[in-house]
Chains A and B, each alone.
Chain A
Amino acid sequence: MSRLPGWIAVCGMASALAANAAGNITGRVVDFLTGEGIERARVLVQLTPPGSDRPVTLVALTNSEGTFGVRNLPGVPCLIWSEKTGYLGGQNRTESQATIPISDVEASAPIVLRLTPQAVIEGSIVDPGGTGIAAWIKLLRVVPDKGGGIEFQRDLQVDESGEFRLAGLEAGSYYIEFAGPRALVNQAKVRAYAVRFYPDAADLRSARAIQAKTGAAVQLTLQLHVAPSYQIRGRVPAASQNPSLSLRLPGEPVAGMQFFNAAWDDRNRSFSFSGVPPGVWLLEANFTIDGNAVQGSRIVTVEDADVDGVTIEPAARAN
């Protein structure tokens, strides 16, 4: 059984084929690491029948050997891919999909679609007493293609059990930023938790990367620390409209959810963030003035008291 190269861009080659030509496809879905057949993998064959402008998708299922078959296909190009829970297969990965002209498959060897086992990072977030607690997680990935740059991957709201699972990951290096539950906007002094990076770092530079491996799960316990809770209060320019405010650690990727809720008083053009632990924070605002998008930001240091009277002035036009 020969292996088909990952991506064969032949769409359109079969357009001159007879519309009623029939073709058969056989193949096998295998584990990328072990080469063993995968049972009950979904194999999707997508094509646009002659005379139609809408694609049709057939879904086959592999047997205990990992093999599958589709027959009586019309003579048009088709895209074929496989997917299975627990694997990184799918339409967007080269090793698990192929585009083929049906006219060729009668004579061609069976197709091999390879599924890569996923990596998983899972575990629990606990309070200082070791009890699970509601929290927020941001998953950041080191991107080798970008010179080791770090980009936001996804965020996750963890419920009161504290248990979390980040599945469907590529093997690689990851960072995790985590924070306690958001403070209620009407309860400024509810207990706060410091924002941390795995394992227990105050910033990304001090954090340790997590090595996620193909087909393996990394188990983590992330512990939150109680911190004093303060408010940051201030105003935006009187002429601003539709302000959007965010508070984050300097150097933290911009994407993802906010760890802090901003309460907004439209009448006074004032805002407040509650439940903010001591630290150095980057306060950012996006708003419009005279119909123009404007940004503003400033560093706010919270020590042992509420910070009042913070003003944000327009710094640059966003567009």
Chain B
Amino acid sequence: MLRACGIGLALFGWVPLIVPAQPTADGFSLHGRAVDENGRPMAGLQITISDDKWKAASDPATTDPEGLFVFNGLGEGQYILGAILHGGTVFYHELPNSDDVVTTPAGPKQEGSQVLFRVVPHAVVTGFVRDEFGDPAAHAGITLFQGGWQDGRVVFSVVQTADTDDRGQYRIHGLHPGAYAVCAAVIPNPNGANAPGAIAPQPGIVDFQAHEARYYQRSCVPARPPAFFVLESAQRVQKDVVLAAARAFSVRGRVTNIPSETGASVSLARDDGLSVVPEPRSTGTSLARGTFEFEGVEPGRYRIEASVSTATGGTPLRWSGRQTVQVEAADAGEVEIALEPPARIDAAVHNLPSGAPADAVGIGLRSTAAASWTRWAQTAPDGSRDFESLEPGTYWLQTRTNGPLCVESVKFGGQEVLQGTVTLTAAEEARLDVAVSTQCAAIDGTVVSQGKPALLARVMLLLSGTAESPGDTFMSISGDDGKFSIVGLAAGRYLLWAWSQEELGFTGPPSLSELRNRGTTVVLTRGEHSAAIVPLFRSGVVQ
């Protein structure tokens, strides 16, 4: 079973005894004191409590004039505390750059102790968006995003979006401490690429014959990468944005090898890792003859993807194709994208113990292309697994298990690919043979910083690939003693890194390759636990 302790809900300790022990006849009690950011008691505050499945464990408690609250009749376990502040919820010990919350234990060891709950308002980012003339850009789209680790690389994910009002002002609230970046763009017009709102005006007399279309660019383009800033608890930061206008071009082309009469769907997205930010004018056209055209495309590198779904024998199949286009100082015409039929993989799991649930083994594929997500095999009621409509290409193999299982071998075309890749050609029908075992290895590790245990550290295990080209990775988090445990592993050689989860800036290195010589190597033997001491890496804000 590949799993870790403390994912999503971090375990945390409690402060020494302050109030007398008050065990109740039918459960344990959890005492606490709510204070504001200056340590002053907060009276009349509602405190909620949920179990670690987010189910309410009791009715909310209300703090007394000293900020004290208590929940009685609790079972032994971990609980999530929240405070209702100005209509929003502030959770106990929110972690920077994360939606994870820290749980609070209740049980015999905690009877009589008191949790100190610092109820700090969430941070706010506000600002104005203006055009090149200094006028407010009303109804511009704002994207607030963060960098984070996924699949062994830093990806940018949208935290919140907002629109500017008629004054060009925006406000994004409810933010945890961390490192953020703001990107502004004129919102795409659903009616087409030629969205008037995105067209920059021209002062003076406009000449139709000499006219060159200028469009407002989004504020974070490759030439002006987003500037990350650190937001502390309760902080209000103003980030104003000026939208620049620039000459824009068109991208035209056609889709070939369309398997049906249905027009293909064509999308255009930036190939710069910031595709999470809405494209101002990425509303492509899919014409009956298979041609497409995008207007108002500013210089940059783009990924054009085309697909069409067709039903063969009642089974929907997705034909697809993609092309990368560099737009510089001219229109890009005659881009041709040939659709290819999808591949299919049937997967068989061997040595599965009788009675093992259907979700005991998960098999995933992630394209080796830069921006891609993992697809997991579908499991039928009879236990068979398959991947349908896979785009031709090369994929990293990923496996996950539940229960006392680990994946020891995966064969693809007779070759071992457990820690490697599989390559699929158009219309290929392939097979994966997955062998599981109960003789699994495990890592019992400790994250240390300056010789001391490092609590709440993010731990990354590299299961396949290299630091320069990560394949399958697994993330865990250390507990309040710096310890972590990852089980359900096959025998082999692995690399581990750990970095702080409590830094305000972006947590982690910019890439694993930066730490390729600083990983902790652990060699696992079948059926045995191995210890690992992993030094903590500290980092700053991604620039």
Contacts and interface: CB of A to CB of B under 8 A. Distances in A.
Interface string B86-101: 1111000000000000
A57 B121 CA distance: 46
Interface residues of B, number: 43
Contact of B46 (A43, A133, A191): A191
Contacts of A228: none
Interface stretch (B15-23, B33-41, B165-173): B165-173
Contact of A85 (B60, B86, B166): B166
Nearest to B121: A160
A186 B55 contact: yes
Contact of A59 (B124, B201, B207): B201
B166 A167 contact: yes
A60 B202 contact: yes
Interface stretch (B130-138, B452-460, B520-528): B130-138
What is the predominant secondary structure among interface residues of chain B facing chain A? loop
Contacts of B136: 85
Contacts of A74: 208
In this complex, the interface size class of chain A, counting residues with CB under 8 Å from chain B, is 35 or more
A160 B174 contact: yes
A190 interface: yes
A61 B208 contact: no
Interface string A124-141: 000100011111000000
Given A40-B135, A42-B201, A167-B166, A58 B86 contact: no
Nearest to B122: A160
B56 interface: yes
A310 interface: no
Contacts of A56: 194
A181 B87 contact: yes
B138 A181 contact: no
A54 B205 contact: no
A74 B59 CA distance: 72
Contacts of A161: 86, 124, 171, 173
Contacts of B196: 44, 46, 57, 59
Interface string A228-249: 0000000000000000000000
B174 A55 contact: no
Contact of A160 (B60, B86, B207): B86
A191 B84 contact: yes
Contacts of B135: 40, 85
Contact of B208 (A71, A134, A162): A71
B74 to A, nearest CB: 16
A215 interface: no
A4 interface: no
Interface in A135-182: 135, 159-162, 165, 167-168, 180-181
B542 to A, nearest CB: 27
Contacts of A46: 196
Contacts of A59: 196, 199-202, 206
A212 interface: no
A184 B48 contact: yes
Interface in B56-70: 56, 59-60
Contacts of B381: none
B320 to A, nearest CB: 27
Interface in A26-79: 40, 42-46, 54-61, 63, 68-74
7 contacts: A71-B208, A72-B208, A85-B138, A132-B86, A167-B166, A187-B48, A191-B60
Interface of A: 40, 42-46, 54-61, 63, 68-74, 85-86, 118, 120, 127, 131-135, 159-162, 165, 167-168, 180-181, 184, 186-191
Given A44-B199, A58-B208, A63-B204, 9 more contacts: A58-B211, A59-B201, A69-B206, A72-B208, A85-B135, A134-B88, A160-B85, A184-B89, A191-B84
In the A-B complex, the 9 residue pairs with the closest CB atoms? A134-B87, A181-B87, A160-B86, A167-B166, A61-B201, A59-B201, A69-B205, A159-B173, A189-B59
